[in-house]
Structure 1
Amino acid sequence: MPPAAPLRHTSADSKAAQTAPDRRAAATDAQKRSFLRMVSHELRTPLNSILGFSEILTSELYGPLGAPQYKEYAGIIRESGQKLLKLVNQVLEIARLENQSVDFDPRPEPLEAALDDVLAGLADEIEARHVAVEVTGRGDLPVVTADPRGLRTVLHHLLHNAVAFSPEGGTVWVGAQALAGGVEIVIRDEGEGIDPAELPRLMTPFEQGENALTRHTEGAGLGLPIADLTCKAMGGRLTLASKPGKGLTAGLRLPAA
């Protein structure tokens, strides 16, 4: 009897074996994306109803409510709904970033235009706290490679944090310089600062605890983790430096255009 012919694996078999884990990973990613979409819809839909109807009640669109307390309570409901919606959006954003479910499109993006957009959006908060924002090199800021929305998200959270923790009448400094293969953006405030040993916790979602950067303000402190994850997703890096009484300095490193 002739010896049995050795088994031969066709290229199709090898290709199927190689791509099976990829197919499972893709299916898992698709399930995560579907779950996030469902959660987003189920949470935002009732919140939008709460915000919409409380706005109608607050404005007394269809006539006086009667006792003045009703209008006050409607305003509290609306304000609470806005805070809850903001928290829901931040939690979902962290989930999407950690699951790599956010699609970024890096492209040459002028830093000047992004800063202008973010500062315009924060104008009311800046004015309310009487904080001055000094941007060094206006008119000659570099161009970075980043997703336009992602860049504005990172700058928004960093500048919002700097303004929120600056003393009233304080100054926030913003500067940027081109380095080898990249651009470094620095945002520095005059806040209370924090022990350097606590800095890693500031960029870890849901582990910030109570510290100088959270105990005096409302919110879950998710802005810095979102900025960090977004920066990494765009091929950049975010670093923090601080000392008690010396404010906080955020260094954002992005690829150059």
Structure 2
Amino acid sequence: MKTFFLIHFTFLFIFYTLSAYSQSAKEIVEKMDKKMRGETIQVDMEMEIVRPRFTRTIGIKSWGKGKDYSMILITSPARDKGTSFLKRQKEIWNWVPTIERTIKLPPSMMSQSWMGSDFTNDDLVKESSVIDDYEHSILRTEKFNDFDCYLIQMIPKPEAAVVFGKILVWITKDSFVELKVENYDEYGSLVSTIKASEIKKMDDREIPTLLEMVPADKPGQKTILKYNIVLFNRPLEDNFFTVQSMKDLK
């Protein structure tokens, strides 16, 4: 009889545990990614680079289509205006108008700082995929900023060319909004933290409109992204994302 109750209790525990996580970690990340990316996305934003001795603001426009295409244009300050970046499938390009030169970025540059900020080239052009390049698991559920969240661990696949050795992501259970990200190196040390806030309705959905990236080992340093306008699912042709187009953006 004791054995029967033990087996019965174990079965119920497993059943309710599986019910609590009726969605897989990968499905949750896919829903989060789809919400923030859409079929296409167009963004007008500002980046504020904060350092102990100065603050610098960059105006940015960006366009994205699916996972394979993205374009970024610097609109200010004047010295950087017209600089653009293109991701077309696995190729990354940079147009520098001051020297009238197009540069193809090698994979080794993906971990380098983007425009002197705390974001990497990979963060901005999304060369790696949070869905395809990682194995996902739900560690637990917990509250963050009064939101019930899934805490999901992402470990890169052996063949993936990614920057970090582990990523922890807090995603809201009700609306699949990414609220916090912790990036770790291959030795398990915290590299940086991204916190998202100021959730507002942008176009047809509610998303965070303020992202703050804070490096773990650089006191007084951070980078803030503020979304001013976000448009989802507007038509964008594949031929918009070309090396020639990046020279003509306005």
TM-score under structure 1 length normalisation = 0.24
Decide which structure has the larger Cα Rg and report it.
Answer: 1
Write 1 or 2 for the structure with the bigger share of helix: 1
